[in-house]
Structure 1
Amino acid sequence: MHIHKKLIPLKAHYFFFNAATGPVVPFMPTLGKQFGFSAGAIGLIYTCLPVFGMFAKTGFGALADRYKMQKSIFLFFQVLTAVAFFGIMFIPEKPAVHTEFECGGHDSEFELCSNNLNKQLEKEIFIKNQNTTMKCQLKCKMDDTTKWDTICEYWNSTKYCESTHTNVPHTFTFTTLSPISLSVQLDSCVYYRVTQTQFSDDSMHTPFCPLKDDKNVSRHMSMDCETTCDLQLVNELLDASDKNEFKDYKYWIFFVLLALSWIGMAVVVSVGDAVCFEMLDSKPHLYGYQRLWGSIGWGLLALSAGFLVDYISHGAIKKNYSIVFYIMIIMVFFDVLSSLKLQYNQTTLSVSILHDVGKLITEIRVFVFLIWCVCIGMCTGLVWNFLFWYLEELNESRNKSMGYTQENTDHMKTLEGLLMGIQCFGGELPFFFLSSFILKKLGHINTMNLVLIGLGTRLILYSTLTSPWFALPVELLHGLSYGVFYATMASYASIVAPLGTETTIQGLVSAVFEIGVALGSLIAGKCLDVIGGAQTFRYFGIGCFVVLVIHIIVQMLIKRNGRYVPTIDDKDYNIVQARYATPPDTDTQHIIDDQQDIQLVEVNKSNSNHYHKLTDVFT
């Protein structure tokens, strides 16, 4: 078996960069949700991010082509990505909200008072969650040893008896279970009955505080506690601050850091793909063999990250994401080391980048291809940014119907890690490997139709889920809807790119895809707030099949009217004409293979040392 040693650092880059972003990127929307931001606010962020990425890809791609500085830009934006993501870890949590916990006899409750409380809101909480048992995490002040004595003796937990001796902790953290049906509202306060308590060792206890013990001493406890609950509406009541995210400085810090990280990733991906195709030279169909190493890195680390987040967050209402940021920074370090070893130098230069690119995108098949990228991007934006959001809401809804709010919640990040693992190892990895075969057999146009079928089916299946765990087999379709799509998009862009504009065209095509992601994120965020996740995924899925029908009709009309091949006039080279034809479908010719590669034509202009590579026409 022949190993191309020159391509090993390239494979290492794909592995380490995706291993760095895999543990972080999918969790950002749910982290934003944990910060208290609404789906609409998160959707707005993910509408703007692709726009930033679009300008960054095209702008820095053109800069890289013009000044032959791909490698420098490549390395700089790897570092920027790591620094921006790592900064998100230091965004402060919301200030703790204090409630009063009372334990007297067999009755225990905590009081929730808020200026935000009104009868309509409390009624909404009760109606939506009347069969729900709410979990709240309380961190209470322990200002005397009598309270520790009570917990030790009467809460049936001898574990805390040692606390009554020398080193008495000043706080006590535990979780309460409160059936919503037992809550009572009085004026601006709601009293939630506590039926059971849960400690860090998962043991369950019934709180009991006798009014008088054997020594006629009252064991009644009243404690001031920092409180966080697992019902969003209740947390909104606990937080009496302004609910307008756009007035919250933490929202804007989150926005800016995500924007910088997205710009970094966008440039690294587009420049990296351009470098890859340049190194592959006349074998662009082998792109999938390089890119599959990225799927391996993403899948391995995303799967591990989900489990680790659940492990270190065990028993907590909020998830601790710090581990994913540390994994990310380590992987980027190895990525930079690998990228430094890339043996790559750009040898071609377009005399007029804007002229060449402008001529290319006016070709009808290329224009249709770009519209297809937008449509795929819209649906991909929904999956990337709101699939986990939707599954977590589905899990909450399912648990409410069963009377438990926390069932499976402790394992949600593990599930999300498994989903990403299946996406990569069951979807992307095999289909990146098969992408060369699929493109050769079907051609780009038929492959584009195949992607729409896979993506539409996937979205509709999401809308029918009754449990988030049923999403696992659906992820097998990720190979068709993203793995094949990405290989098709990147190879198409590489083949049609005029010589010397490779990075620019990769950036342009990726930017067009990002426009779709932006539109999809905006529409999806609004839809989730208004019609819910299931309906949103269903409508997007139906939209894929509508686009499929339109795409088939348009391609038939193009074929019937004859194939248009654009001509690019390069006046600086004595009106040398070069034709850039789109990749063939099955009715014409397969994508170039090892035996019939792109012919390189060198044209020498007087008083100039520039060389210009031109492609033959694919007939």
Structure 2
Amino acid sequence: MTILEINKKLLLMKMHYFIGIGGYAPFSPFMATIAKQRGYSAVIVGLIFMVQPIPGLFIRPVIGVITDKFKCRRSAFISSTIIIFISIWLLSIIPGTTSKAEINDLDVVKSPLFWLFFAAIILMAMCDTIKNVMEETICTSLLGVNKYLYGKQRLWGSLGFGIFAIISGACVDWYSKGQEYKNYTPAFTISLVCFFCDIIIVSNIEVIQNSSIKYVASDLTKILTKLKVRTFLLWAVLFGFLMAFITHFVFWYLEDLSTIFHPEKKSWMKTLQGMSVIMRCVSGEVLSFFLSSIILRYMDHKTVFSLSFFLFSVDFFLYSTIRNPVWALPIEVINGFTFGLSYSTAISYAAILAPTGSEGTLQGIVGTAICGIGTPIGSIVGGYMFKHLGSLATFKILPIIALILCIAQMTINQLTIRGRKNANVHSQCTLSIETTKTNVDDNNTKF
């Protein structure tokens, strides 16, 4: 392939990541503050984000098995994108977008508008789960033996997310000028346009799925019984747990900083949050996704997770030290690098481990560990901590938690490596004894 020649198969995949992931940026980073503006407490918001990924706990492995067995990845990919478009439209038209005071939790759960809001989020999350499994499976299949290049495809999603976040954040601030509350109509409009375009793109992506290869569940079972795979899934769960605080509670924390220390910045808070996202995605995630192929050549996947947990500790510590929300911008670079490195490691390692024909199933299991187990636990824990300890105290505790997880993960890794070495030595000794015994028996026979 010449320098100017374009791989058209991967070009469409890059366009999908840019539009399909970027389409969430206008509203997804602001969901916690959107819910807060509706009068929902931190506990209610935490419950929403806890329940949101739970359907994915069952959908991810099931959709992987179904699409592997019945060879229907294309249909699942297109259908999920269409339903996401409908879900976002539903979110944009639900009334009751503002409340002057925080509503009592019992009154919230009795409100039909809350359940409509909740249902739209759950429907979108379910279909996003399907879309996520399909896009990762299809992308790694298109890469063939070059699965370590996954990060160079996925970085376009981070680029799109960052660009659309800053555009939509600025549009929301401009559209809400002079109003007491933020009006998110421009954000939802931009998102709907993105997903309409994405439906067209995913309909034209080539899906490689060999119909002659049979799905064999026993091959996958053998993989999942290995200790290294089980510990890898545990680290994926913990990664999801820590990411829940970044994804769902950082903007809440920044708004509290603005309210307490810098109220003059509240008028352009959405622009600042959009700038925060673009710093995270463009400066951090894009760089880490690009470098992940190089890093994974020289570091094993578990060591990369150790580095990620340490960086999480650094992220949370830096957040806990600031009083001006503007200083979150440089911190987001480290934050984005941490996410991109961890995520590309998880996806590429799952693609390497997966038996032929079971790629979608294993991607679904890894996604379940991150988003179906780790993120819900982090969401409800985060909501509880914000409600009872406050956002500032929570972010002082988080660096300690992340550092403890880092030390524990490194310790378990070393114990696992030593155990594997001892097992190899034992098997080699056993083989040597058996070989010696066989030679002696042969000599006795000759004698």
Same fold (TM over 0.5): yes
Deviation at 1:462, TM superposition (A): 1.1
Question: Given the alignment, which residue of 37, 40, 45 partners 1:37?
Answer: 40
Match of 2:395 in 1: 537
For residues 417-446 of structure 1, what are the alpha-carbon distances to aligned partners after superposition, in whole Å with 9 as ceiling and x for unaligned?
000000111101111110101111222122
- Within 5 Å, give how 1:451-462 maps onto structure 2: 451-462=308-319
Alignment of 1:433-452 (within 5 A): 433-452=290-309
Deviation by residue 1:88-137 (Cα, 9 ceiling, x = unmatched): 11111179xxxxxxxxxxxxxxxxxxxxxxxxxxxxxxxxxxxxxxxxxx
Of the three residues 536, 548, 558, the one matched with 2:416 is 558
| Aligned mates of 2:182, 2:37 — CA distance in 1 | 8
Q: CA deviation at 1:353?
A: 4.5
Q: Which structure 2 residues correspond to residues 196-215 of structure 1 after superposition, within 5 A?
A: none
Moved over 6 A (4+): none
1:15–1:295 Cα contact (<8 Å) kept: yes
Mapped to 2, the partners of 1:378 and 1:478 lie a distance apart of 14
Deviations 1:177-200 (A, max 9, x none): xxxxxxxxxxxxxxxxxxxxxxxx
Q: 1:315-361: per-residue Cα shift (whole Å, max 9, x none)?
A: 11111001111111111111111112212230167645543333222
For the Cα contact (< 8 Å) 1:65–1:349, is it kept in 2?
no
Find 1:391's aligned residue among 234, 246, 254.
254
> What is the CA-CA distance between 1:16 and the residue it aligns to?
0.8
- The SS at the match of 1:92 is coil
* 8 Å Cα contact 1:15/1:296 also seen in 2: yes
CA distance in 2, matches of 1:83, 1:432: 30
* Corresponding residue of 1:526: 384
Q: Equivalents in 1 of 2:201, 2:91: separation in Å?
A: 25
Distance 1:349 1:557, change over 3 A: farther
The corresponding residue for 1:83 is 86
CA contact (8 A) 2:142 2:208 kept: no
Pairwise CA distance, 1:60: 1.4
Higher share of residues assigned helix: 2
Give CA-to-partner distance per residue, 1:241-269, whole Å, 9 cap, x none.
98621111111111110001111111111
Retained in 2: the 8 A contact 1:462–1:534? no
Q: 1:382 aligns to what?
A: 245
CA separation of 1:242/1:453 partners in 2, compared to 1, >3 Å: closer, same or farther?
closer
Determine the C-alpha separation between the residues in 2 that align with 1:354 and 1:313: 54
Q: Which amino acid aligns with 1:385?
A: H
Tell me the CA shift for residue 555 of structure 1.
1.3
1:359 aligned onto 2:362: no
Task: Report if aligned partners of 2:166, 2:274 keep a CA contact under 8 Å in 1.
Answer: yes
Letter in 1 for 2:49: Y
Given that 1:350 and 1:501 are in contact with CA atoms closer than 8 Å, whether structure 2 keeps it comes out as no
Residue 427 to residue 79, structure 1, CA distance change in 2 (3 Å): same
1:35-434 superposed matches below 5 A: 35-93=38-96, 235=101, 244-347=107-210, 351=214, 353-399=216-262, 405=263, 407-434=264-291
Structure 1 residues 375 and 243, CA, compared in 2 at 3 Å: closer, same or farther?
same
In the other structure, the counterpart of 1:21 is 24
- CA distance, structure 2, for counterparts of residue 294 and residue 500 of structure 1: 26
1: CA distance, partners of 2:56 / 2:172: 28
In 1, the alpha carbon distance for the partners of 2:176 and 2:42 equals 23
| Contact 1:86–1:329 (CA under 8 A) maintained in structure 2 | yes
* Offset at residue 481 of structure 1 (A): 1.6
**C-alpha displacement of 1:58:** 1.6
Structure 1: how far apart are the matches of 2:399 and 2:59? 30
Which residue is 1:484 aligned to?
A: 341
Residues 155 and 285 of structure 2 are in contact (CA less than 8 Å); yes or no, is this contact kept in structure 1?
A: yes
Equivalent position SS for 1:21: coil
**CA–CA separation in structure 1 for the residues paired with 2:240 and 2:66:** 25
Give the C-alpha shift of residue 298 in structure 1.
Answer: 0.6
User: 1:480 deviation in Å?
Assistant: 2.9
Query: How far is 1:278 from its partner?
Result: 0.6
Distance 1:309 1:432 in 2: 29
Query: Residues 254 and 353 (structure 1 numbering): CA distance in 2 closer, same or farther, change over 3 Å?
Result: farther
Instruction: Give the whole-Å Cα distance in 2 for the aligned partners of 1:543 and 1:564.
Output: 32
Question: Are the structure 2 counterparts of residues 94 and 419 from structure 1 closer, same or farther at C-alpha, using a change threshold of 3 Å?
Answer: closer
Structure-1 separation of matches of 2:84 and 2:97: 25
Cα deviation, residue 79, structure 1: 0.9
Match of 1:596 in 2: none
Tell me the distance in 1 between the aligned counterparts of 2:200 and 2:284. 29
Whole-angstrom distance in 2 between the partners of 1:385 and 1:53: 17
Map of 2:407 onto structure 1: 549
Instruction: In structure 2, give the amino acid aligned to 1:345.
Output: I
Tell me if structure 2 keeps the 8 A contact 1:450–1:480: no
Q: How many residues align?
A: 420
Instruction: Give percent identity, aligned residues only.
Output: 32
Amino acid at match of 1:478: N
* Structure-2 separation of matches of 1:550 and 1:345: 40
Q: Take 1:342 and 1:425, find their aligned partners in 2: how far apart are those partners?
A: 25
CA contact (8 A) 1:62 1:501 kept: yes
String of CA shifts for 1:544-597, please: whole Å, max 9, x gaps: 1111111111111111122699xxxxxxxxxxxxxxxxxxxxxxxxxxxxxxxx
| Compared CA separation, residues 346 and 560, structure 1 to 2 (3 A) | same
Larger radius of gyration: 1
Is the CA contact 2:139–2:150 (under 8 Å) kept in the aligned structure 1?
A: yes
Return the offset for 1:23. 1.2
User: How far, CA to CA, are the matches of 2:215 and 2:360 in structure 1?
Assistant: 14
The 8 Å contact of residues 69 and 215 in structure 2, kept in 1 or not, is answered as no
Q: Kindly report the root-mean-square deviation, in angstroms, between the aligned alpha carbons of the 2 structures.
A: 2.0
User: How far off is 1:279 after superposition?
Assistant: 0.7
Q: What's the CA shift string for 1:504-560, capped at 9, x where partnerless?
A: 111110111011000000000010011111221232221111111111111111111
Name the CA distance, whole Å, in 2 between partners of 1:563 and 1:429: 37
Letter of the 2:410 partner, please give it: I
d(CA) in 1 for partners of 2:386, 2:351: 37
CA contact (8 A) 1:50 1:262 kept: yes
Equivalents in 2 of 1:349, 1:501: separation in Å? 13
Considering Cα pairs closer than 8 Å and 6+ residues apart, tell me whether 1 or 2 has the greater RCO.
2
Q: Is residue 41–residue 105 contact of structure 2 (8 Å, CA) maintained in 1?
A: no
One-letter amino acid of the counterpart of residue 323, structure 2? T
Q: Deviations over 1:458-508 (max 9, x none)?
A: 012111221111111100112332000111000010000111110111111
